[in-house]
Amino acid sequence: MPNLVVDIGNTRTKVAVFEQNKIVMSFPTNELTVNDITSIKNEYPEIESAIFSTVRSNADVLHPMLKANFKKVVELNQNTQLPIEICYETTSTLGKDRIAAAVGANYFYPNCDLLVIDAGTAITYDFVNYNNQYTGGFITPGLNMRFKALHQFTDKLPLLKASAPQNHQGRNTTESIIGGIQMGLEGEIGRIITHFQSKSDEMLIILTGGDTKYFEKLLKNYNFVSLEIILPGLNTILEFIKTKKVKKTIADNGI
């Protein structure tokens, strides 16, 4: 049976329909509406299960909207059953996007040491070990956030945008800002990768997020894979929960 998967991030919402663990339809939107749900139901009337993850405060609206259209609706939170072990001290504050990314990375590369770099509004660095355990990571400002911060918290620095990585010499204010952010980010990435490599004999880097294309250039000297992992991660969680329910039902019936 196909599943509906909804990922609501800081800047955009991604919606997908999965069938046999493959995306058969997807689209981005600023906000998921009742009309969107109706269109999906008309095109895929066999969908009975949905999962959603949100980093915004809109679960109270979204959950009833999905519940009115699907038999089973899962909201990803700290109480959700997961196919990996979460070894994190404050699970109640762990970002839903970080959980979904960790599960998605582990789905594609189980029993491997993985560093997941999600380059979005914020940049998250998360580690999943070969025992399929999420052990934590780091959070830093995203690429565009760094440009906005320099402009917002100073009186005279202009608001600039990222350009293709290049060797800026800092001969003017534009070069100084772009070069400083670029080289600072390169240094950050290298230092964090080195930190996790010291804990792993073999580690694969997985890159995802809205700024993936920019980060691919910064990671050219490392062994990495670019993947969309949050949507597959959410679908993997939903399938895991459905399987657990089936097994429990079979056991309860003595079969």
Query: Which stretch of DSSP H or E encloses residue 87?
Result: none
> How far is residue 84's CA from residue 253's CA, in Å, rounded to a whole number?
27
pLDDT, tens digit, for every residue of 131-180?
999 999 999 999 999 999 999 999 999 999 888 767 778 889 998 999 99
Task: For the chain, give the mean pLDDT.
Answer: 91
Active site residue 36: no
Q: Is the dihedral of CA 130, 134, 137, 140 positive or negative?
A: positive
> How far is residue 71's CA from residue 245's CA, in Å, rounded to a whole number?
14
Tell me the whole-structure pTM to 2 decimals. Answer: 0.90
Same topology for domains 1-75 and 78-255, yes or no?
A: yes
Q: Could you say which DSSP state residue 91 is in?
A: G
Q: Which CATH superfamily is domain 1-75 in?
A: ATPase, nucleotide binding domain (3.30.420.40)
**Would the pLDDT of 130 be above 70?**
yes
SS3 41: helix
Q: Which CATH superfamily is domain 78-255 in?
A: ATPase, nucleotide binding domain (3.30.420.40)
The candidate with the shortest Cα–Cα distance to 142, out of 119, 164, 126, is 119
For residues 108 and 30, which has the higher predicted lDDT (pLDDT)?
108
pLDDT, tens digit, for every residue of 174-227?
989 999 998 999 999 999 999 999 989 899 999 999 999 999 988 988 989 999
**Would the pLDDT of 72 be above 50?**
yes
Which one is catalytic: 97, 113, 118, 211?
97
> How far is residue 79's CA from residue 133's CA, in Å, rounded to a whole number?
16
- Could you give the count of Cα atoms lying within 13 Å of 48 in the half-sphere of its Cβ? 5
> How far is residue 52's CA from residue 67's CA, in Å, rounded to a whole number?
11
Q: Where are the domains of the chain?
A: 1-75, 78-255
SS3 106: helix
Tokens linked to 182: 């670029």
